[in-house]
Structure 1
Amino acid sequence: MARTLNDARRWAEEGTKLFGDAVDRLTPAEYDTPSALPGWSRKHLVAHVAANADALGNLVHWAATGEVTPMYASLAERSAGIERGVAMPAAELSAWSAHAAETLATQLGYLTRAQWQAEVVTVQGRTIPAAEIPWLRSREVLVHAVDLDRGLGFADLPEDFLRALVEDICLKRGLAADDLPTGPLPEVTAWLAGRPHALADAPEIGAWL
């Protein structure tokens, strides 16, 4: 499917709410328990998503002003941001997550038609138009809402988002439609993303995102 900017902005908004609601339901003790991502607590995951909003905000600033503003000054800064969040009390981390998400949404709302086409560079070194930023954010908040392991599954995510995500991951993994196992869309998406799934005969595949 050909996703549009409006699609991505809608998914980012829905994902931000899903992720935020899941975070709000965490008790202080639950922050320190494991997420669905190996080696990461829920604190790690919330800090990662909060730092991602701040980093994508740098790209929005770049698009809006023309001032080169990388997502992160370095990979070490990226890791340090997560560890800083892990060290925060639960209430402070939750407040950072909510404020960062709200700030990013506000920044995106001010971009003009021309600014959406401005080129920026992701942390992986890809040059993209700013119109791709909402898609990057939608992937983060929707997939990681599942990774928080608070009862959400891929079946709870928007179906059109899942179709777009399957296309995106297939492109990155070099897979064709014929390479995909047969099964419900949410389970195939979970498999492609390297998450737990209910497909009986799907081969092992590495983690993504």
Structure 2
Amino acid sequence: MDTSTPAGTAALIARVAAAQEELRATVASLGDADLAAASALPGWTRGHVCAHVARNADGLRNLLTWAQTGVPRPMYADGGAREADIERDAHRPAAEHLADLARSGDGFVGHARRLDDGAWAAEVVLRNGDRLPARMLPGHRLREVLIHHVDLAAGYSPADWSGQDARFLLASLASAWSGRGDCPPLELRAADTGERFAAGAGPGAPVRVTGPAHALAAWLAGRGHGGGLRCSSGGLPALPAWM
């Protein structure tokens, strides 16, 4: 049996590892009081964001185990347990947050690197009920880490995403919004890469939104107010909440 990780997936896992290290570097610069202060997410401190990112790694690792063994294993026991775990872990000292982020994130990456082709092709089920092949899980983790790094509101912004990561996020988020009737039809043009994406499925002609890939991705994720973007209809249309 071939136990090697497919090349494209291996590269994505490497990007997850790098993004996690960057997030941990930001957290390492913060003290206990900083982590107890408000994040960019309403009602959450920076500690809540750290706890969520760590528990997400554990949840996605549960899905890797499902893919590897064939035995169903949900991300979380239930929605209530997920929220309780985040609240339990949100108020810890900075050193404990950092250790937890390292343990959970490195655990996800190490586990992912051990999966073979058969496991990557296995279907798993996300917390929201979406079914997908396990090979998409590293992308979900990368998106989670990059976006929530911004949510720490600690000096890291969408402009700090690498060009590669900004393009990944734009393509990933556009795909997530594609076909959704609660999202207006959009034609997204990345001025810095020349790429174009379609999103949404509401009535009417598509609204063209143009700007740097990182600004488009941030807007689709509900981060920021669309700075640096131009819209064919004047003002940017309202989008449903991302997360």
Common fold, TM-score beyond 0.5? yes
Provide the alpha-carbon RMSD of the alignment: 1.8
Match in the other structure for 1:102: 106
Segments ≥4 residues shifted beyond 6 Å = none
AA of the residue aligned to 1:195: R
Match in the other structure for 2:17: 13
Alpha-carbon distance in 2 for matches of 1:86, 1:145: 15
Alpha-carbon distance in 1 for matches of 2:152, 2:112: 25
Alpha-carbon distance in 1 for matches of 2:145, 2:135: 17
The answer to whether 1:202 aligns with 2:230 is no
The answer to whether 1:133 aligns with 2:161 is no
SS at structure 2 position matched to 1:120: strand
Q: Any residues of structure 2 matched to 1:40-119 within 5 Å, and which?
A: 40-119=44-123
Match in the other structure for 2:36: 32
The answer to whether 1:158 aligns with 2:184 is no
1:29-48 deviation digits (Å, cap 9, x = unpaired): 10011111122110010000
The answer as to whether partners of 2:61 and 2:111 remain within 8 angstroms in 1 is yes
AA of the residue aligned to 2:112: L
Alpha-carbon distance in 2 for matches of 1:130, 1:122: 10
Report which of the two has the higher share of helix. Answer: 1
Unpaired runs of 5+ residues, structure 2, are 1-7, 179-184, 188-205, 230-234
Q: State the shift of 1:180 in Å.
A: 4.4
How many pairs align?
Answer: 206
CA 1:176 to 1:5, structure 2 compared with 1: closer, same or farther past 3 Å?
A: farther
1:160-181 deviation digits (Å, cap 9, x = unpaired): 3322322322233344425342
The answer as to whether partners of 1:60 and 1:130 remain within 8 angstroms in 2 is yes
Unpaired runs of 5+ residues, structure 1, are none
Report which of the two has the higher share of strand. Answer: 2
SS at structure 2 position matched to 1:133: helix
Q: State the shift of 1:91 in Å.
A: 2.1
Alpha-carbon distance in 1 for matches of 2:223, 2:240: 9
